[in-house]
Chain A
Amino acid sequence: MALEPCTEVPNQIKTDIPILKERGQREVFCGLTGIVWLHRKMQDAFFLVVGSRTCAHLVQSAAGVMIFAEPRFGTAILGERDLAGLADANEELDRIVDQLLERRPDIGTLFLVGSCPSEVIKLDLAKASERLNQRFFPKVRILNYSGSGIETTFTQGEDACLGSMVPVLPNSYDEPSLMIVGSLADVVEDQFQRLFEKLGIGPVYFFPPRRASKLPPVGKGTKLLLAQPFLSDTVRSLIARGATLLPSPYPFGIEGTTAWLKTAADAWHIDSSQFEQAIAPSVNRAKIALERYRQTLAGRKAFLFPDSQLEIPLARFLSRECGMELVEVGTPYIDRLLMESEINLLPVGTALSEGQDVEKQLDRCRQAKPDITVCGLGLANPLEAEGMATKWSIELVFSPIHGYDQAADLAELFARPLERRRRLTV
């Protein structure tokens, strides 16, 4: 008996959605925040921010609630002597790196991370890392990227970090391979690995790797499949090294994951019956699991504040698979190359906004009275106190949400605040 297709590859709905572009106060994180999850993904790496006490304070406020026997990030704090040019910044940096590597001989890769102050005073960290590499490579590799707020917003820090690794990826000598780009939870990586094996797609490399010392190869045969939508620069650098981008929606929800896998399957010329067969068990499972939350979410209104660039794919999932109504989908930055296939799937009339003027956006949000507001932690409790249910957006970057087996978990993240409100009587 022939298997019926489990799901259809999504149709294009509308290509030209007007986008509201706003400028004003932006209530977002800077790219330094990426360190909070990147230090866990690559355990042999250390992140040294070159910046001010504000930068140090930011990272520790975000991550310092975990108690570290051995911190995997730190800050070289600039002092007045550095600003006045009394101390040679390069000598200072060398001294700090010596001190750090002496304490932590287990560090394999050291990222020098630029910040607003280091960018404004034009401290050349690229040169510094080059120089330090000459001293420490191959024992320690020193890379640099900018996580400054003036240049990067939140998840763009990961983009910048991965981008800094691209030039040092080994050459694959044109052997055909698939590279999954973007940090994924370990469990999700393993699931995707199994699915690709079942489909007969390989070899598959994940970037970033779990060890910064085990870098995936790249070359003319490398096909790129993006797991995260915020990797504009990384993708462009990978393309510059010969890789080909497979444009696709992102693997959120059943539909997104199928479209994503299908993109790879087509590139590997896997025939559709084999494809359907391979994904069928996961899809069926996911449908059963998702249905429970769909009932809670269907017909509810969602308002998304800009934060991570995950907003558009998530809005697509919430609207098409959970039946939610989209009031406004805000995102810090839209890269058409990476977002085209997602924007095409948004329902007609979706209000998209790029950038932010937070007070005005809050006014719109209050007026629309959404059932759930996706926003950062700076806004979440204040909005809850005004009687609005919120889902704080940072969790979406920290949780396993990709793929079939997480589709229901992803929906649950949005249903949970509503369920909680139903339960509480105080």
Chain B
Amino acid sequence: MELTLWTYEGPPHVGAMRIATSMEGVHYVLHAPQGDTYADLLFTMIERRDRRPPVTYTTFQARDLGGDTAEMVKTSVRDAYERFKPQVMLVGESCTAELIQDQPGSLAKGMSLPIPIVSLELPAYSKKENWGASETLYHLVRTLLLPFVLPPNTQRPKRDPHIRPKANIIGPTALGFRCRDDIREVVKLLAEIGVDVNVIAPMGATPDDLMRIPDADFNICLYPEIALTTCTWLTRSFAQPIIKTVPIGVGATRDFITEIGRVADIDVSEALQRSQSDTLGNWDASRISSPANPQASRLPWYSRSVDSTYLTGKRVFIFGDATHALAAARIATEELGFTLVGIGTYSREFAREVREVAKKHGLEAVISDDYLAVEAKVTEAAPELVLGTQMERHIAKRLGIPCAVISAPIHVQDVPARYSPQMGWEGANVIFDSWVHPLMMGLEEHLIGMFREDFEFAEGHMSHLHAAPSQEIRRDLPREMGISEQAIASAGVSNQAVLTPIQVAQEVSGITWSADGEAELKKIPFFVRGKIKRNTEKFASDRGITSITVETLYEAKAAIGK
């Protein structure tokens, strides 16, 4: 057993649902107890879809367990086929059904329906959501394309240079982080360099579309957590190369274009050049009024402008799925000038890549799906900004640290109505705004550092968010989940629950502070105080000092720096 307060991923059958729901013409019969239909809400509420997910549940109850649950599977498969007439059917189990072992996949295959049946074996007690999605996509594509696999070592005929190269975009799914807008942005990028899109899958694809996958010259593996298994199989079976760079961030987008140029053998130098030269200013009248101008990101200029100087060296902790965490680490350090003080992922399959990046920054990566372990690491690192998932928002609230969401798991507020990609040029614009927003504005930071007794702009206050940091998140409590205003008001924020970094540090260390030392410490600006306290205590313990005075504090500061 494992104690879990929050889980980063759902069970694997939710991953399978994400594939089925992303597509058209695919139906999923899920052997599951009554109540597991909650998963429909992920799509109808969090993602606000206007249709029910194409999922039929057997919803067995306790009284059915004595009877023939296998018969319930058959009835559900038959009814679902009759009613929805899908082109392909997925059949699988949820965690409870896995225990009673009715073999629904084989049962369905034995019913001789006139469509392909994909039997899903998703071990719910050892695997999770992304794995489930990846596996489902792989088996679906494999089932449909297996008869057309090329003989081993077949070379693809060389593309006629007069025909534009064609690419598949593999990986975007329902409930993925910003997939909807990422695709649009990537399609725009491809158009700019003269690449056509063959199939986008699974999002929006039909089984017929999947059949056309081999027509493309190469595959863009946009979300490796979902798509890498499938792309690798396609490379083996149809000799289609994979584009592995994920275009999140300005630098990564440039690399993405370069990689496509190399793989597709096309000239992309113009697009790359523009991405360099077009990033300054942007206030010129001709550029604002010309709709013909291709997009370029404003991030480079915004980040270079003097207003951003105070962002230099801000201590940031990054956690999420591997793809988004890796991208965020590069943007944070190379494009925004932050200092990386922690990085981790819950995607164990991509742990190696994350470890490499961590090592480059002298850190040890947090590879864990244990919320409590992540919380401990964030506490220890005492960052000034957390870039994470919906779960890190809980951690950040507890510690009173600003936070922005960069990866699934997400909630309704991260499926916005406005265009908000993470990828490509516009994605970088979105990222600049959303990561900088939770931080204290420069002037306010200076003034709170200088004058500490203001009656309005107190410790940790961030007036551009209209509230203190630990409070600000409360504004986000949406009504969607039906929490009444009274409930919100009466719940409040428990003051004991929100620990400042100082309190956390005090709980950890055993060293005492003299009264004057502690008073001086309180004059250090809020967000860096935790780190300074830790540095000072380390300095003291290294030198055998047991009581920290004002002098010790400044000696430590001089020795270690900020």
Point out residues on A near B: beta carbons under 8 Å: 25-33, 40, 50, 52-54, 56-58, 60-71, 73-80, 82-83, 87, 89, 92-93, 95-96, 99-100, 103, 106, 116-117, 119-121, 148-151, 153, 185-187, 359, 376-382, 384-385, 392, 394-395, 397-400
A150 touches B95 (CB 8 A): no
- A125 to chain B minimum Cβ distance, whole angstroms, is 12
A117 touches B44 (CB 8 A): no
B476 touches A67 (CB 8 A): yes
- A61 to chain B minimum Cβ distance, whole angstroms, is 6
With A69-B394, A394-B482 as known contacts, state yes or no: A61 contacts B46, CB within 8 Å: yes
Identify A62's interface contact among B6, B38, B124, B496, CB under 8 A.
B38
Surface stretch bound by A, among B196-204, B456-464, B483-491, B523-531? B483-491
Q: Which chain A residue has the least Cβ–Cβ distance from B128?
A: A53
CA A400 – CA B476 in complex, angstroms? 22
B62 touches A119 (CB 8 A): yes
- B230 to chain A minimum Cβ distance, whole angstroms, is 23
24 contacts between A and B (CB under 8 A): A26-B59, A28-B34, A28-B37, A33-B38, A50-B1, A54-B11, A57-B39, A67-B393, A69-B470, A70-B497, A74-B4, A74-B5, A80-B123, A82-B125, A96-B1, A116-B95, A117-B99, A149-B35, A149-B61, A150-B33, A378-B40, A394-B482, A398-B483, A398-B487
- B393 to chain A minimum Cβ distance, whole angstroms, is 5
B397 touches A69 (CB 8 A): yes
Identify A149's interface contact among B9, B33, B44, B123, CB under 8 A.
B33
Whether B181 is near chain A, meaning CB under 8 Å from some CB there, is no
Which among A153, A378, A382 has the greatest number of chain B C-beta atoms within 10 A?
A: A378
Q: Which chain A residue has the least Cβ–Cβ distance from B41?
A: A377
Whether B450 is near chain A, meaning CB under 8 Å from some CB there, is no
With A25-B57, A65-B481, A76-B2 as known contacts, state yes or no: A382 contacts B390, CB within 8 Å: no
Identify A385's interface contact among B41, B51, B124, CB under 8 A.
B51
With A149-B35, A378-B44 as known contacts, state yes or no: A82 contacts B493, CB within 8 Å: no
- B17 to chain A minimum Cβ distance, whole angstroms, is 11
Whether B60 is near chain A, meaning CB under 8 Å from some CB there, is yes
Identify A378's interface contact among B10, B33, B52, B483, CB under 8 A.
B52
Could you give, for residues 453-479 of chain B, a 1 whenever the CB lies within 8 Å of some chain A CB and a 0 otherwise? 000000000000000001001101110
With A67-B476, A150-B65 as known contacts, state yes or no: A40 contacts B7, CB within 8 Å: no
Q: Which chain A residue has the least Cβ–Cβ distance from B61?
A: A150
CA A148 – CA B65 in complex, angstroms? 13
Whether B349 is near chain A, meaning CB under 8 Å from some CB there, is no
Whether B96 is near chain A, meaning CB under 8 Å from some CB there, is yes
- A186 to chain B minimum Cβ distance, whole angstroms, is 6
B3 touches A99 (CB 8 A): yes
Residues of A within 8 A of B145 (CB): none
B1 touches A71 (CB 8 A): no
Whether B100 is near chain A, meaning CB under 8 Å from some CB there, is yes
A67 touches B52 (CB 8 A): no
CA A93 – CA B2 in complex, angstroms? 9
Q: Which chain B residue has the least Cβ–Cβ distance from A152?
A: B35
Residues of B within 8 A of A185 (CB): 484, 486-487
With A69-B497, A385-B50 as known contacts, state yes or no: A153 contacts B34, CB within 8 Å: yes
Identify B62's interface contact among A150, A376, A377, A398, CB under 8 A.
A150
Identify B60's interface contact among A56, A58, A96, A150, CB under 8 A.
A150
A79 touches B125 (CB 8 A): yes
Could you give, for residues 166-179 of chain B, a 1 whenever the CB lies within 8 Å of some chain A CB and a 0 otherwise? 00000000000000
Residues of B within 8 A of A377 (CB): 40-41, 44-45
- B116 to chain A minimum Cβ distance, whole angstroms, is 23
Residues of A within 8 A of B124 (CB): 52-54
Whether B356 is near chain A, meaning CB under 8 Å from some CB there, is no
Not counting A40-B491, A67-B477, A379-B44, a sample of 14 additional A-B residue pairs whose C-beta atoms are within 8 angstroms of each other reads A25-B37, A25-B59, A25-B76, A26-B37, A28-B35, A53-B10, A61-B10, A64-B409, A66-B477, A66-B481, A75-B4, A82-B1, A150-B64, A381-B45
Whether B159 is near chain A, meaning CB under 8 Å from some CB there, is no
B44 touches A382 (CB 8 A): yes
Which among B79, B96, B490, B497 has the greatest number of chain A C-beta atoms within 10 A?
A: B96
CA A379 – CA B38 in complex, angstroms? 11
CA A393 – CA B179 in complex, angstroms? 30
Which among A153, A380, A381, A385 has the greatest number of chain B C-beta atoms within 10 A?
A: A381
With A185-B486, A400-B486 as known contacts, state yes or no: A380 contacts B11, CB within 8 Å: no
Whether B359 is near chain A, meaning CB under 8 Å from some CB there, is no
Residues of B within 8 A of A74 (CB): 3-5
Q: Give the interface residue-count category, chain B.
A: 35 or more
With A52-B124, A382-B51 as known contacts, state yes or no: A79 contacts B2, CB within 8 Å: yes
- A98 to chain B minimum Cβ distance, whole angstroms, is 10
Q: Which chain B residue has the least Cβ–Cβ distance from A187?
A: B486
Residues of A within 8 A of B411 (CB): 64-65
Residues of A within 8 A of B372 (CB): 103
Residues of A within 8 A of B482 (CB): 392, 394-395, 397-399
- B403 to chain A minimum Cβ distance, whole angstroms, is 9
CA A151 – CA B59 in complex, angstroms? 11
Counting from the closest, the 6 A-B pairs by CB-CB distance are A30-B35, A149-B35, A378-B40, A385-B50, A52-B95, A69-B497
Whether B156 is near chain A, meaning CB under 8 Å from some CB there, is no
Point out residues on B near A: beta carbons under 8 Å: 1-7, 9-11, 13-14, 33-42, 44-46, 48-52, 56-62, 64-65, 76, 79, 83, 94-96, 99-100, 123-126, 128, 372, 390, 393-394, 397-398, 409, 411-413, 470, 473-474, 476-478, 480-484, 486-487, 490-491, 493-494, 496-498
With A28-B37, A150-B34 as known contacts, state yes or no: A67 contacts B474, CB within 8 Å: yes
A151 touches B477 (CB 8 A): no
CA A25 – CA B64 in complex, angstroms? 13
Q: Which chain A residue has the least Cβ–Cβ distance from B477?
A: A66
CA A71 – CA B397 in complex, angstroms? 11
Residues of B within 8 A of A75 (CB): 3-4, 7
Residues of B within 8 A of A60 (CB): 6-7
Residues of B within 8 A of A399 (CB): 482, 484
With A54-B95, A65-B477, A120-B99 as known contacts, state yes or no: A381 contacts B44, CB within 8 Å: yes
Which among B33, B390, B498 has the greatest number of chain A C-beta atoms within 10 A?
A: B33
With A56-B7, A78-B125 as known contacts, state yes or no: A69 contacts B83, CB within 8 Å: no
- B490 to chain A minimum Cβ distance, whole angstroms, is 6
CA A81 – CA B273 in complex, angstroms? 56
Residues of B within 8 A of A381 (CB): 44-45, 48-50
Residues of B within 8 A of A56 (CB): 4, 6-7
Residues of A within 8 A of B99 (CB): 83, 117, 120-121
Residues of B within 8 A of A79 (CB): 1-2, 125-126
A57 touches B7 (CB 8 A): yes
CA A40 – CA B488 in complex, angstroms? 10
CA A372 – CA B58 in complex, angstroms? 28
Residues of A within 8 A of B45 (CB): 377, 381
B487 touches A40 (CB 8 A): yes
B10 touches A57 (CB 8 A): yes
Q: Which chain B residue has the least Cβ–Cβ distance from A379?
A: B52
CA A70 – CA B499 in complex, angstroms? 10
B6 touches A64 (CB 8 A): yes
Identify A148's interface contact among B33, B41, B470, CB under 8 A.
B33
CA A87 – CA B393 in complex, angstroms? 33
Residues of B within 8 A of A73 (CB): 5
- A3 to chain B minimum Cβ distance, whole angstroms, is 33
Residues of A within 8 A of B51 (CB): 382, 385
- A295 to chain B minimum Cβ distance, whole angstroms, is 25
Q: Which chain B residue has the least Cβ–Cβ distance from A356?
A: B59
Residues of B within 8 A of A397 (CB): 482
Residues of B within 8 A of A28 (CB): 34-35, 37
B5 touches A53 (CB 8 A): no
Residues of A within 8 A of B96 (CB): 52, 54, 116-117, 120, 149-150
Residues of A within 8 A of B3 (CB): 74-76, 96, 99-100
A54 touches B36 (CB 8 A): yes
